[in-house]
Amino acid sequence: MFWRLGDAGLLVQCPESIASLLAMFLHGWSIASADSGGRPAVRAVSRGDGWRIEAHSLPRGGVDLTGDLAAAELVADAAACELVASRERTILPHAAAVEIGHGAALLLGDSGSGKSTLALTLAAMGYRLIADDRVGLAVEDGAVMAMALGLAPKARLPLPAAAAAGLPEFVKARSVRAGNGVAVLKLATDEQAPPGVQAPVRAFIRLDRRGGAARLEAESRAVIVRTLAEAAAAPGLTPEEVLAIAVAATAAVPTCRLGYGESDEAARLLVEDLGSPSRREETCAIGGARM
């Protein structure tokens, strides 16, 4: 069966058993059955006792896996990649992004550095989530823009013992599925930016969970360029083009390093530094204090 996804009408071929699960992973995307209408951007092909998901953005054009849920998650990821690929000169770094004030703080770091936890901590404080894991990034007329993809945020379980007060409740109340150490979340429409929405990036922040007091310092541009270029998928772009985008982006926006131990302290510091109240002041209580 064929399906049209999102405003771009991305054509996806997969059985209804997978399509019915896509809404769990794609938030703000319309999903409608369709006639074939051409070559699908993403398709799930039955293979043995599992599925082969095929898309340009996947390694060697396709990935084999088992289970409808895993297939739906990968179809969703591939669809988000195709959304990025449809935009000119846009890369897809592994990064979280949260609207603070009049722009986005883009959080970078190695796996385990706490990007998702910090992003969700900020979301629990009332700041709108753009992405918790992957975000579109483009430089347009000198402005660096972060683009929401509408992918479901995920929280690693159990949450860290030092998780911010309020975060466990936030995660629990929004969890639509939990298993294998991960909770898939469904945030309210004012808590997560819908796909395609862009916000100007105010700072690139490399997370360094080294312990101790939270501290925001200047970071070498080269380190941020390398982090962006290494962590970016960029369907249709050469590595040299990815590098050029990373270089242009870091020339226009401050590059910082956030050393921290506990995510709530780090979140408070970011809010203090980037300033301005949350979009949902009435709900933003964390650690017993209203921001």
Partner 1 sequence: MRYRRRADVSETAVEEDLFLHDPLSRELYHLDRTARALWTALAEPHDLAGLTTLFAMAFPDAASERIGVDLETTLAELVGRGLVVSVP
Identify which of residues 72 and 246 has a Cβ nearer to partner 1 in the complex: 246
Distance CA 121, CA 170 (A): 9
Is residue 111 near partner 1 by the rule CB under 8 A?
Answer: no
Q: At what angle do helices 263-274 and 115-124 cross, to 10 degrees?
A: 70
Q: Mask 201-240, x = binds partner 1 (CB under 8 A)?
A: -------------------xxx--xx--xx-------xxx
Per this entry, what is the length of the chain? 291
**Torsion, Cα of 204, 209, 211, 212 (10° steps):** 10
Is residue 242 near partner 1 by the rule CB under 8 A?
Answer: yes
CA neighbours closer than 13 Å in the CB half-sphere of residue 187: 28
Instruction: Using DSSP, state whether 176 is helix, strand or coil.
Output: strand
User: Which tokens is 64 given?
Assistant: 């084999």
Question: Of 1-9, 78-86, 151-159, 243-251, which segment contacts partner 1 by CB under 8 A?
Answer: 243-251
**167 in Cβ contact with 107 (< 8 Å):** no
Minimal distance, residue 231 CB to partner 1, in Å? 12
User: Which tokens is 74 given?
Assistant: 């990968």
Is residue 243 near partner 1 by the rule CB under 8 A?
Answer: yes
Identify which of residues 113 and 250 has a Cβ nearer to partner 1 in the complex: 250
Identify which of residues 167 and 242 has a Cβ nearer to partner 1 in the complex: 242
Is residue 31 near partner 1 by the rule CB under 8 A?
Answer: no
Identify which of residues 163 and 249 has a Cβ nearer to partner 1 in the complex: 249
Is residue 171 near partner 1 by the rule CB under 8 A?
Answer: no
* φ, ψ (nearest 5 deg) of residue 266: -65, -40
Identify which of residues 123 and 229 has a Cβ nearer to partner 1 in the complex: 229
DSSP state of 166: T
Residue where the block lists tokens 């050469």: 238
Minimal distance, residue 230 CB to partner 1, in Å? 8
Minimal distance, residue 226 CB to partner 1, in Å? 5
Distance CA 127, CA 3 (A): 33
By rule CB under 8 A, what count of residues binds partner 1? Answer: 15
Is residue 250 near partner 1 by the rule CB under 8 A?
Answer: yes
Where on the chain is the footprint of partner 1 (CB under 8 A)? Answer: 220-222, 225-226, 229-230, 238-240, 242-244, 247, 250
